[in-house]
Structures are given as C-alpha cells and as structure tokens.
Amino acid sequence: MCSVVNFNINGYHYKLPVIYGTFCEKAINISKLRESTGFITFDPGFKNTGITKSSISFIDGEKGELLYRGYPIEQIINQCSFIETSYLILNGELPNTAQLKSFSEKIKKFNSIHKEINKILDNIPNSYHPMGILSFLTHILDAFINNSLREEDLYLHLLAKLPILAALTYRKKIGLPPTYADPHLDYTSNLLKMFFSIPNQSYELNPIISDALNKILILHADHEQNCSTTTVRLLGSAHAGLFASISAGMSALWGKLHGGANQAVIEMLEAILKSGGNIKKWIEKAKNKKDPFRLMGFGHRIYKNFDPRAKIAKKVAENVIQQLGISDPILELAKDVERKALQDSYFLEKKLYPNIDFYSGIIYQAIGIPKEMFTVMFALGRLPGWMAHWKEMKLNKDPIGRPRQIYIGYKKRNIKKK
C-alpha cells in the first residue's frame, strides 16, 4: 500500500499523503493541496470527498453491506433492541445487562417535557408539516434544558424527549389530547402507546407491531456521512449546540431525496394505483430525462447493489402484513414495481436498486402511522446516529466545515448610478 501519491501539475512534481480505512478505503489527503499547488478540488455533492475519519458505521456499497460498529445489520436486527443499538452506536460497544438496564432507566428519568412546550405546540398552525414541527420543537427544547448538564445527559434527554415530541405532534394533528410517557414500558412500546392511546380506554400493545417498529428504527439508526448527518456534523463544527445541530439535521432529512422519500414513495405508489396500475408507463417516465420524475425509493449514492436495509424492510413489511392478517395492495404493487424496474436495462446499468425508503412506508402504514409522519419516524430512528456523529466530531476535534468554491461571477467593477 502506498503512503503517498506522486503527481505532476504543469511540469512541477508533488507528493500527497494517502490515508487508509479499516477496509482499505483509500483517500488522498489534499488538506495542503492549495497551499502547495494553488489548486483546489472540485466535487459538487461531495461525491468523492471524505470529510472525516469515523468509526460508527461502514457501508460497502458494491457488496451491499452495512455494519454498525463492526456488526452486520442482519445480526443486529435479529439480536438487539433499538435501545441496545442506540447504546452501541453512541458508546461503541453493545451494553451488558447492567449497562442496558441503567441506560434505559436513565432515559426514563427524562421522559417528560416542560408544560410550556405544549403551549408552543398549540400555537403552531396545524397545516405545518410534522417534520417542520419536530425540527422546531427540538430546537426550542434547548430553552428548557439545564445548561450545566453533562453532555452524556443531553443525549439521554433527546432519546427520551423526541418520542414525546413526535407523539404530541401526531396527536395534535388528529385532535387527540397530549399524552405522557409510561415508565413501565420499553422504548418502542412506550412510543406506540404515546401515539395511539385514547383517553379513558386501555391501550392494548400488539407485540407484532412493537417488533416491526423496533426493527424499522434499528434500520435507520446510522448510515455514515449522509446529508442529514453531515449537516449535524457541520453545525457542530461551528460549535453550535447539540439541539440546534440535531434540529438542522431533521430539516435536511425532510428533503424528498433523503428521508422525505419514504412519504414520496407511498404517494407515488398510490398515484400508480389510482392511474390504473400501468407500472411500465411510470418506469418510462422515470427514465425520461426531460421529466423531473424519479422512481422514488430507488437509487443511492453509495449502494451500487441492493441496499441491505431494503431487503430487511421488505421482509419486515411482508411479515407484519401477514401476521396482522391484512391485505395491502400497495405492498403487492411495490413488489411488482421492484421486479419490473430490475428487469429494465436503465436501472441495471445505472445500478439503481430499491433503498430503505422503498418498503419502510408500508411498514409504517401497517403500524398505523400516517404518511405525513413517516419521516418523523425516520428521524426517531436516526437520532442515535446523529448524536454519535456529533460526539465523534467533537472528539476528533474536526475543524469548522467551510468548503471553497470556484467563483464565476462578475469581475471587480465600480458602481455607476444612472
């Protein structure tokens, strides 16, 4: 393995150091490039830019593999709960029994919000999208948290309070009164109860639903330098606070090309169904470069093979629908769209496979979560990843994120008023 790369620019010879990751991912360290050559690199969308060294998750996009702290996602999904996964992602190792108990109890200690938050929520127009509300409430939560708390406690506060904010947002939308956390329940069961319990009625937990929710949250827990995580790290690099950074990450996640794709997928599938189910026509539309439409839930910057999360999500969707004894024409349609797209040379040549968002909405619908809340569920799942990256960014002492540009505007000129 080479430790430097040699190159020539205009007859001058330069050397730049090379750095390697655990799986021999290699990068040319260009941090001194401009200083020594006068050149910067140009990489819109950061397609070839590593912004940090990280040990939280690893994607092998060619093989379609995902590891959390070294553990394959397929093992985590079958052997861990979401809260164990959160501990793993935040702290680097899986918890033992005592550590898990203490982590869960500490989260429960922070399982309430200031009553002012309810008043603030009451004043937000009901027409506002739940992702906007969640991002706003997460930001303002900072005003109600004791500033002298240890950083580790801030993570626990967010893990405890985000489900409450999500549930309150949902309940306000549908006209249900505010709810409280139930300290006797585990994380996902509590989340379900906070969402769906109705005053003066006992809430019956369904273990099938609880298990499906647990799995879908795990699938979202981290995904290296995606758009929202990079947003969180960028804000943190400017020494913005944790809540402001996470709130900004949520806003990035809301975008349709990122987490907002889960809502867009179901809307697309419903539109296909409504327009007569002619899948071929929609696939042609997605291939047409003059049409801005894209097959939502397909394609990924890193995966050039199946997204392993999509494979698991498909199975979870099939299981939950079968176990609940419901029939879902959208699931059948989604499988048909996948089959037909993967027979099409456009998708094969461009290596466009279903991503996590293709099947996740079907799981949420089976659980009873409405479309507008899908990306909120993604945010609940991604929270440990965002926080772990924020923590890592601080430990790494990453410098403030500040890219350069190639200016193509006017040359220097003088104002001449007419």
CA distance 335 to 352: 15
Among the candidate windows 13-21, 102-110, 255-263, 329-337, which touches ligand CMC by CB under 6 A? 255-263
Does 297 engage in binding with ligand CMC (CB under 6 A)? Answer: yes
Cα separations in angstroms, 192 against 175, 219, 301, 373? 17, 18, 33, 13
Does 385 engage in binding with ligand CMC (CB under 6 A)? Answer: no
Among the candidate windows 73-81, 135-143, 322-330, 348-356, which touches ligand CMC by CB under 6 A? 348-356
Does 304 engage in binding with ligand CMC (CB under 6 A)? Answer: no
Phi, psi of 294 (to 5 degrees): -125, 155
Among the candidate windows 152-160, 207-215, 297-305, 323-331, which touches ligand CMC by CB under 6 A? 297-305
Cβ neighbors of 418 (< 8 A, separation 6 or more) are none
Burial of 288 (C-beta count, 10 Å sphere; 0-12/13-18/19+): exposed
Residue with Cβ nearer ligand CMC (294 or 335): 294
Does 258 engage in binding with ligand CMC (CB under 6 A)? Answer: yes
DSSP 65: E
Residue with Cβ nearer ligand CMC (235 or 356): 356
Shortest Cβ 57–ligand CMC spacing (Å): 13
Cβ atoms of 57 and 309 within 8 Å: the answer is no
Q: Of 222, 300, 307, 389, which is the active-site residue?
A: 300
Cβ atoms of 378 and 370 within 8 Å: the answer is no
Binder of ligand CMC out of 19, 257, 271, 326 (CB under 6 A): 257
Residue with Cβ nearer ligand CMC (111 or 226): 226
* Residue 267 token pair: 């809307």
End-to-end CA distance of the chain: 64
Among the candidate windows 237-245, 313-321, 350-358, 398-406, which touches ligand CMC by CB under 6 A? 350-358
Shortest Cβ 245–ligand CMC spacing (Å): 18
Residue 114 annotated among the catalytic residues of the structure: no
Closest CA to 318 of 338, 342, 340, 348: 338
Residue 300 annotated among the catalytic residues of the structure: yes
For the chain, how big is the Rg over CA atoms in Å?
A: 23
Residue with Cβ nearer ligand CMC (85 or 263): 263
Binder of ligand CMC out of 59, 320, 352, 369 (CB under 6 A): 352
Cβ atoms of 27 and 19 within 8 Å: the answer is yes
Binder of ligand CMC out of 173, 294, 304, 371 (CB under 6 A): 294
Q: Binding string to ligand CMC for residues 354 to 373, with x set by CB under 6 A, is what?
A: -xxx----------------
Q: Is the dihedral of CA 164, 169, 173, 175 positive or negative?
A: positive
Does 350 engage in binding with ligand CMC (CB under 6 A)? Answer: yes
Shortest Cβ 289–ligand CMC spacing (Å): 7
DSSP 418: -
Shortest Cβ 294–ligand CMC spacing (Å): 4
Closest CA to 61 of 305, 267, 345, 287: 305
Among the candidate windows 110-118, 251-259, 364-372, 390-398, which touches ligand CMC by CB under 6 A? 251-259
Can you state the angle between helices 227-237 and 242-254, rounded to 10 degrees?
A: 150
Cβ atoms of 371 and 363 within 8 Å: the answer is no
Does 298 engage in binding with ligand CMC (CB under 6 A)? Answer: yes
Phi, psi of 149 (to 5 degrees): -65, 150
Which parts of 29-68 interact with ligand CMC (CB under 6 A)?
Answer: 45
Residue with Cβ nearer ligand CMC (113 or 296): 296
Phi, psi of 20 (to 5 degrees): -125, 145
Shortest Cβ 351–ligand CMC spacing (Å): 8
Please tell me whether residue 172 adopts helix, strand or coil conformation: helix
Does 88 engage in binding with ligand CMC (CB under 6 A)? Answer: no
Binding site for ligand CMC (CB under 6 A): 45, 226, 257-259, 261, 286, 294-301, 350, 352, 355-357
